[in-house]
Structure 1
Amino acid sequence: MAKTLQIGDVTVPGQVLMAPMTGITDLPFRVLASKLGAAYVATEMVAAKELARARPDVVRRAAVGAGLPLTVIQLVGRDPDQMGEGARMAEKAGADIIDLNFGCPAKEVTGSAAGSALMRTPDLACRIMAAAVAATSRPVTVKMRLGWDDDSKNAAELARRAQDIGVKAVTVHGRTRKQFYTGRADWDAVGAVKSAVEIPVIVNGDIITAEEAREALDRSGADGLMLGRGVYGRPWLAAHLERALIDGVALAEPDVDERLQIVIEHLRASVAFYGMPLGLRMFRKHLGWYIEQAPWPTDPQHRREAKARICRLDDPEAVEREIAQLWRRNLLKSGNSVVESATQVGETAVA
């Protein structure tokens, strides 16, 4: 039986969550991942200041769409009043959960004293949390890191203060900001945050396989886990990890038929959402990851060459045709019996 995660008055129908990622978790990606079974997929990081001003590109990042089982909008900023107004606007836009970003390590974010830089100013972070909680009836959550550096690991204390303010859950990436994405995530250190609070704690960082998911949960004692970069080219990962955890088995990957259908659906959704040529440009990074993550071609050099060639195409139908043919050719070489279904998918895609 699937485990659920209770965040305020919202029941998340699973314990494997997808992180908000700029340039990745746009509406086409979130709809696709949800359709594939993901229980929770957050929006891209949305600047609260610009959301309040209704800047078109920011509103697009927060687009909630229709038919999504759960809408989580993540806000970033450093001004309490603007973050409060952003929370109010997010609720008005249809957010079920509003997440505050205290964890982004990017220089363009920390340089404006937002993201993980807020862990250096915990009093300001608390004023931001209080403003957001007061501005909305929706559950407010926080995503943070262990601290700014090894000398200031204050995640447990900040989580305690967040709980007292009324925050309903915290996600902790098991690295400091100084680490960025180097080294290994410290899941044991996340356990100290879990011991400090009663609200749900979600562990994040270096979780891709079922074995890593189980170990991260065991070592941290967390109530759930959050996936980040591991979903690049694998929008099915959250749903498949959820099933692996429930059944106690290894992670299952889609076959060629399923992968082709996913790529094609994602491409068409991106073009429909952004229009051409922007939709294809926005999709190209995903296309590159789809090719990198597939087991075909088996030769890495061949895969890199195919990625470079297909990602330069400027016609969506050509992309659909070429990706199907790429996998068909390599499956022919390996004698794989699913060649016929791959061919059929490619023909359907360009019909």
Structure 2
Amino acid sequence: MPMEENRFCQSFPTQGHIKPLLSIAGLLCEASLHITFVNSDHNHQCLTNLQVLSTNFPTLQFESIPDGLPIDHPHDNIRFVPKLLYSIMKVMKQLFRELLVDYSKRFELPVTCIILDMFVSISVDFAKELEIHMFAFCSFSAAFLWFYCCLLKLIEEGQVPIQAKEDMDRIVIGVLGMEGLLRCRDLPSFCRQPCFNPAFKLFIDDTEGMLAVSRLIVNTFNDIEAQVLSHMAPLFSNVYTIRSLSLASTSVGEKNQKLSEIFPVAAVLLAPPFPRPSGLGFTKGRNKSEAGLFVHPWDAFKLALCDLGLNPEALAALVKELRREPQHSSSPPTYAAPSSLP
């Protein structure tokens, strides 16, 4: 099969981030794009049915690099996320750069684009150096992402970090669309750490890296989070709302279902349990006016199981953009989302 220009996808190395981005990779392969999915060695060893994936998605291939953590480290335990972030920055960053350069040499196939999980901003700097097209991918709700977009502003205003004896019901001011709704207790736990805390600094660095990318793909429904998405649109030249990644009634969906089955059941059953945290991604609205601002993940999961299909306009626009040569645009931001559900 003749090789074409290649696009890399790199996810944050946990299952909750890998599966949505892998679904995106499958959809792009259906559009005849050549995709290389970069995984950590640990998670790559957990994948099953790779031969089936190769059959269903012939333009999809995998590469893996070490994440820098010991083999027996509890990679999916939420308590160790800061340590994983630190290891990504110290170990995976350079390895990913070497992989990009080596890949182009081995296959004489230029890497023209990287779709990067927003929590893995490790390649933003050298992607610019190598003139590679960049997209940020958000696997969770736009409301949660919008908080990260406002994080630096909240730090400058002294609202974050939250002090030890702070009233956790204090309203956080300055996040558009969430006026009077967002409380200290709704913020991620790292916001209770001092600014010099390594975990806090890592999240700040990731936020700055994400905002340096001009194009954003969000795994959400425009109709549910239109208000929040409209606030984010000016920060990016293009925002693509992919909507449901569960396409059960289509031929693409049947193939895409294979992507959701690549992790063995045991990997889920043996994962260390942890309580549902209180945070933007996990907070239900307290009244009707909050509907559409906060998306409860379990409710969103039910919606994703409904046969709503994907956003064809956004996907078509995304594929067109991925086929385009990298260039600087002075045009106003565009917002690739339909006006209503089909």
Give the TM-score normalised by structure 2: 0.34
Higher helix proportion: 1
Give the TM-score normalised by structure 1: 0.33
